[in-house]
Amino acid sequence: MGKLQNYRKDGQFAIDNMLVKRVIQSFIMHLKNSLFFSSGEGVETALTFLTLIETCKNVGLDTRDYIATTMKLVIGGNRNYDNLFPMPLAE
């Protein structure tokens, strides 16, 4: 009980991990679904897109807008791929 009392005095930490659970929940759901992908390559592709989607969320980008913008830039001839990651486009 003493450690709980110390937690209450500090107050800078959340008492639960709901934020973490919300962030990883989509990965967990898709991880369960990955059992039904037809190949390891399908799982890799899905995880790449899921990582991209979560990265967009973390930097405050709309995923659809990001993908549309990126595709337009690539089709338009942009070959500077480092600038096509979500982080530089969010700035």
Rounded distance between C-alpha atoms, residue 21 and residue 39, angstroms: 28
Residue that has been written with the tokens 């995923």 in this structure: 63
The model's pTM is: 0.55
Residue 3 covered by a domain: no
23-80, pLDDT tens digit by residue? 677 667 666 666 667 777 877 887 788 888 888 888 889 999 999 999 999 999 998 8
Rounded distance between C-alpha atoms, residue 89 and residue 68, angstroms: 12
Residue 6 covered by a domain: no
Domain count, the chain: 1
> Helix (H, G, I), strand (E, B), or coil: what is residue 76?
coil
Residue 58 covered by a domain: yes
Amino acid present at 61: L
Residue 31 covered by a domain: yes
